[in-house]
Amino acid sequence: MVLNWANIDTVLLDMDGTLLDLHFDNFFWLTHLPEYYAAKFPGKEQQARDTLKRQLFEKQGSLDWYCTTFWSDELDLDIIALKKQIGHLISERPQSLSFLKALGSHNKKRVLVTNAHPDSVTIKFSATRIEPLLDQVISSHDYGYPKESPQFWNALQKHSPFNPEKTLFIDDSVAVLNAAKNYGIGHILCIDTPDSKKPSSPCVEFPSISHFEELLTIDGALHHG
């Protein structure tokens, strides 16, 4: 993956599945949460699991889908407390820290743009070392629109002006990457191995990388900071 870093001033980075291993989130939503929710309905566990699956599916892509407060109210469970129970599964993806350091040493603005609720961001920051290596942190909940929505990108530009043509955006969601492309983001990369426990799944629509090392070791590009 060759990028012309001379044409990139700002780097927008997703959190879960990009800087951090998506295994934590997949395990939480597909295993941990269903287990606790089903336990609320003795004798009807499978029905409860099916109901939860349907509820999650219906909200997919909306801001509610990412909102810990919404799901705590909807399911009558403390989502944050449940996440903290498996906090040991939170980890950076390979070379995330080296990549962030390299960006900083080359005076690139490092902006975290995530759909995660601020409460989830706090949990992730407390368990990792990425926060000090970021110049700005933005949750879509700050604007009221998910990254899949064009309104998010308009709000981002209004509150934190940037030049789309000189911006690199890295995410693991094709739906989000499409929204960024439609807005006019000039450089887009897809993470094809967001979950360390699952096989790589290269993006068809966008250039993809498995690890940040692919960007750090290219001659003439960024190097370890």
Q: What is the C-alpha separation between 100 and 107, in angstroms, rounded?
A: 11
Alpha carbons within 13 A on the beta-carbon side of 175? 8
Q: For residue 162, give the nearest of 148, 147, 183 by alpha carbon.
A: 183
Strand order in the sheet with 187-191: 136-139, 109-114, 10-13, 167-171, 187-191, 208-209
Residues 162 and 113 grouped into a single domain: yes
> pLDDT digit of tens for each residue in the chain (225 aa)?
678 899 999 999 999 999 999 999 999 999 999 999 999 999 999 999 999 999 999 999 899 999 999 999 999 999 999 999 999 999 999 999 999 999 999 999 999 999 999 999 999 999 999 999 999 999 999 999 999 999 999 999 999 999 999 999 999 999 999 999 999 999 999 999 999 999 998 889 999 999 998 888 644 456 554
In a domain, 225, yes or no: no
Write out the residue range of the structural domain in which residue 125 sits.
Answer: 5-21+91-216
- Specify which residues 137 forms β-bridges with: 112
CATH number at residue 207: 3.40.50.1000
Residues 84 and 132 grouped into a single domain: no
Q: What is the C-alpha separation between 212 and 76, in angstroms, rounded?
A: 39
Backbone torsions φ then ψ of 154, nearest 5 degrees: -65, -40
Tell how far CA 169 is from the center of its chain. 11
